[in-house]
Structure 1
Amino acid sequence: MPDIPVGTQIFDLIFHPTDSIVFTGLLTGHVKAFGYDEQGNHDSKFAVRPSKRSCRALAISDDGSRLWAAGKAKSLYTIDVGTGEIVNTIYNAHDAAINRVKHLTTNLLSSGDDDGVIKLWDPRKPDAIKAYNHHFDFISDFLWLSDWKQLVSTSGDGTLSVIDVRAKKTEPLAQSEDQEDELLSIVPIKGGQKFAVGTQLGILSIFNRRNGWGDCVDRIPGHPHSIDTLCNIPSSYPSSHSTILTGSSDGILRAVQLFPTKLLGVVADHGEFPIECVAVDRGGEGRWVGSAGHEEVLKLTDLKEVFEDEDGKEDEDEDGKDGTEGEDDEGEAEDTDTAEPAMEDASQEEAEEPHEEGEDAAEESSEDDVEPEEKKRKRKQDKDPLQLVKRKKGRNEIDAERSFFADL
């Protein structure tokens, strides 16, 4: 599908839960809605400008009739999706710019600002129901756990917190230790028992619900730049419980499988523009994934084509493998189950080469005979810039990488 030009930078996007409509929040303060079809055609539905200041966050009701917008103006706007008109405005909803909005239940909405303040709203009332100030830096993302009626938030202060919206106290149910890194995004994996959190340093931190929220239980390196946004793939795919889409500031939207860790491929490339947001249509169960960076266009990518192509490549690779390579792959999968990514295996194997070459020229010759076969086995992952960067890093930090994974 061709890109949808919007005329300026996109800060947030969200899909209609049932119709082929996508909404974008723009730098100019506009909220623009576009319709699209399976043939790649798109048209403008409406454009409204609640404020002259940037629109950073969007949320939509379960039935798709109401759209909420917020941003630097510190106000919360309600837009009628059918008419494209603003039907309600809560001025100065926060004392700082609003960075994130999340629709939780029929009559419950959450918002988070640049000062770390979280507020709960009943859209029918003019004032906030509750306000929480346990964070001291910007709220980067929200995750709603409907089974426990809990709101999980990530913050630039390096902590993750859990709020029980039913509790009377304005204190979090739990808050993690300082992760010493900005937490930028969060998605559930493994059926909601675990959670992947994207960080400023490009590490995926894994939290286990059964182990509490005090600290992460796993850290998966590999991304060369910050992981600004995360998204689940539709549940119709076999590996959906452990496969996520990661949007990084290097402009690459990747499909990454966890446990074992494996790069499935590049979904979209935004060049040198950081990816601000990513979402899948039809309530996360659709065919199209939308991603936006700083290049003033909305990219819509067909997930079906991406994963079908990847499945075809995997089948071809498996047909061409011999018994030895199959054993290597099986061992590699076992290592990644203990938090050692497959991408690190490639780096460590190559990191041994300089030592062997310095010891004996004959050993160097024997390694040359084996190395092309090993590289051929890893080549489908090396196509992604993520792998190229990790290889260089592995050579320069041999001891550090080994000691780090030895402790896990």
Structure 2
Amino acid sequence: MILEMGRLKDDFLRDDESDSSDSDVSMSDSSDSDSDDNDFDQYDSDSNDGILDAEPSSSVNVPGGSQEGLPLNEDDEEDEVVKAIIRSREQHSDHPPDIKLDDFIIDISFHPVKNLIALASMSGDVLLYKYDNAATELVSTLELHMKACRDIEFSEDGKTLFSTAKDKSIMLTDVETEKLCRLYENSHEEPIYTMTVIDENQFATGDDSGTVKLWDLRQKGDTPLFSLKEMEDYVSAMVTTSEKKYLACASGDGSLTTLNMPARKMHVQSEEYEQELTCLGLFKSESKLLAGSSKGRMYVFNWGEFGLHSDEFPSLTKKSMNCMVPITENIVVTAGEDGILRATNVFPYRHLGVVGQHSMSVEATDVSNNGSLIASTSHDNDVKFWNVEYFETLNNTDSRKGNGKKLSKYNLPSSKVNNASDFFSDLC
């Protein structure tokens, strides 16, 4: 049967040869090279070259198959395979189509109310796209910064867009009128790396040198509430809880530094880890803080106890974990250098599988206002969407067997790659 499929694939490649220049690069979990797990991961539904992308058309003959009650001959078996492939692709889209761009996108942010997503570009512009499951449409291009726009965030009500860039400026833009509301020019001595909106009045920024500044919109001028430099390398991520007492900051120096915001001073700094801390997320009703690293390891801290981690999870790939997004109180989706978005159940620790894939390193992720979609951006200049509604009803007592490595390669419903077992089940 596999030999027959190989011949079919060659036939489809010849039929679709004229479209090959528009195809995406097929992405499987190349960082884990066990061949017994990858037999059918190459059939990426995003790729026009892949066998699973074959659709009925005037150039592809899809016969009706065998007559009922008669045995299948060799040609009929091929027909059944083709029809199974087509059936596997004839599903109603449950997520927006990809956004393909010419410019590299550094950060993305979903609007908290509308079906709107903001994209921060290398050129300094911010692109606003509206989306639904049928299409994405460019609404506006905001020409804001002179250098690469590194971080964008919407205010809690979605009326204001915060943006910061390598040009050291912070801009607040009215989303409705697209007019500049406020400008903090030369707000840092070094380029700003990250930013987080704390509430309707306060936000924080961290720069390439390890300096963190807290800002209050009620205060006139461009002077921060306070500024602290306790880290020796760039501030990679910042997060706080609804209590708004502590601001946890991850750094390239391998430390987790926590600021007491009401007291305007440092609270505690962790030991320095052997790898950069790159991303942060809150779980278990904000009682647990998860930190990702440049070597793929994850560290768990009890909120309020930031001096030393309480647990740690091993790396699957030994490659950098660039970003993470909490999906439920227990499930996190992580992504990084290998281009794969993976889901992990943190409490208890268990790998769930592949949420989606890019052909190159993933740099940013975000979750939509209703929690049904994840968006991710990569060095391939594409922004992709993944429907993750199934996590709300995911049965974590799934009887699927295998170690963490094998489970990490299992493609979840949002992935655009078919599992071998799912493919053959359609032939039964």
**TM-score with structure 2 setting the length:** 0.69
Task: Report if aligned partners of 1:6, 1:296 keep a CA contact under 8 Å in 2.
Answer: yes
CA distance in 2, matches of 1:97, 1:6: 25
Residue of structure 2 equivalent to 1:29: 124
Q: Quote the residue 1:16 is aligned against.
A: 111
Shift of 1:123: 2.6
Answer whether contact 1:104 1:110 (CA < 8 A) is retained. Answer: yes
User: Which one of the candidate residues 335, 343, 352 is aligned to 1:247?
Assistant: 335
* Match runs of 1:288-303 below 5 Å: 288-303=373-388
Inter-partner Cα distance in structure 1 for 2:303 and 2:397: 32
The 8 Å contact of residues 288 and 303 in structure 1, kept in 2 or not, is answered as: yes
The structure 1 residue matched to 2:229, chosen from 133, 136, 145, is 133
Tell whether the 8 Å contact from 2:113 to 2:158 is kept in structure 1 after alignment.
yes
Tell me the secondary structure at the aligned position of residue 207 of structure 1. strand
Partner Cα separation in structure 1 for residue 105 and residue 385 of structure 2: 14
Match of 1:276 among 359, 363, 377: 363
Residue 261 of structure 1: how far off its partner (Å): 2.1
**Matching residue within 212, 215, 225 for 2:308:** 215
- Counterpart in the other structure of 2:201: 107
The one of 290, 294, 298 equivalent to 1:200 is 294
2:283 & 2:156 partners in 1: Cα distance?
22
Residues 301-332 of structure 1 show CA distances to partners (whole Å, capped at 9, x for unaligned) of 11125777x65x976x46xxxxxx8xxx9xxx
Query: Match of 1:46?
Result: 140
Change (3 A) 1:91 1:201: same
Matches within 5 A, 1:312-351: 317=399, 343=404
Question: Which whole-Å CA distance do the structure 1 matches of 2:391 and 2:353 have between them?
Answer: 8
| 1:189 equivalent in structure 2 | 283
Residue 119 (structure 1) shift: 0.6
Contact 1:76 1:89 in 2 (8 A): yes
Aligned residue-pair number:
313
Q: CA deviation at 1:300?
A: 1.1
Q: Are the counterparts in 2 of residues 145 and 152 from structure 1 also a CA contact under 8 Å? A: no
Asked if 2 retains the 8 angstrom alpha-carbon contact of 1:267 and 1:306, the reply is no
The one-letter code of the counterpart of 1:105 is D
For the residue of structure 2 that corresponds to 1:192, the secondary structure is coil
Match of 1:145 among 226, 241, 248: 241
* SS at structure 2 position matched to 1:128: coil
Read off the aligned partner of 2:357 and give its amino acid letter.
Answer: D
Following the alignment from structure 2 to structure 1, what is the Cα–Cα distance between the partners of residues 141 and 135? 18
Q: What is the alpha-carbon distance in structure 1 between the residues aligned to residue 287 and residue 231 of structure 2?
A: 24
Larger-gyration structure (1/2): 2
CA contact (8 A) 1:47 1:84 kept: no
1:381, distance to aligned residue in structure 2 (A): 4.6
Q: Which residue of 1 aligns with 2:80?
A: none
Aligned partner of residue 173 in structure 1, secondary structure: strand
Partner of 1:349: none
Contact 2:244 2:261 in 1 (8 A): no
2:263 aligns to what SS in structure 1? coil
Could you give the per-residue CA deviations for residues 372-402 of structure 1, whole angstroms, max 9, x where no partner exists?
Answer: xxxxxxx555447xxxxxxxxxxxxxxxxxx
- Given candidates 42, 56, 63, the residue that maps to 2:150 is 56
Q: Is the Cα–Cα contact under 8 Å of residues 324 and 334 in structure 2 kept in the other structure? A: yes
Q: Aligned partner of 2:361: which letter?
A: P
Query: How much is the aligned-residue C-alpha RMSD, in angstroms?
Result: 2.1
Counterpart amino acid of 2:389?
Answer: K
Q: Per-residue CA shift, 1:7-32, capped at 9, x if unaligned?
A: 21111111111111000111011101
Mapped to 2, the partners of 1:7 and 1:193 lie a distance apart of: 41
Call closer, same or farther: CA 1:146–1:259 in 2, change over 3 Å.
Answer: closer
User: Per-residue displacement from partner, 1:235-289 (whole Å, max 9, x unpaired)?
Assistant: xxxxx22110101211001111123322212111012x1111111111xx42111
1:286 aligns with 2:359: no
The 3 A distance-change label for structure 1 pair 381 and 296 is closer
Deviation at 1:111, TM superposition (A): 0.5
TM-score by length of 1: 0.72
Cα distance between partner residues in 1 of 2:285 and 2:178: 36
Q: Tell me how far apart the structure 2 counterparts of residues 111 and 296 of structure 1 sit (CA, whole Å).
A: 26
Write 1 or 2 for the structure with the bigger share of helix: 1
The ranges of structure 1 where at least 4 consecutive aligned residues each deviate by more than 6 angstroms after the TM superposition are none
Q: 1:75 to 1:47 in 2, by over 3 A?
A: same
- 1:344-386 per-position Cα deviation (integer Å, ceiling 9, x unaligned): xx7xxxxxxxxxxxxxxxxxxxxxxxxxxxxxxxx555447xx
Note the C-alpha offset of 1:40.
2.8
Does the 8 A contact of 2:194 with 2:206 survive in 1?
yes
Give the percent of matched residue pairs that are identical in Structure 1 and Structure 2: 28
CA 1:85–1:162 in 2, change beyond 3 Å: closer, same or farther? Answer: same
Unaligned runs of 5+ in 1: 234-239, 319-324, 330-341, 347-378, 385-408
- Aligned counterpart, 2:168: 74
Contact 2:131 2:137 in 1 (8 A): yes
Change (3 A) 1:159 1:41: same
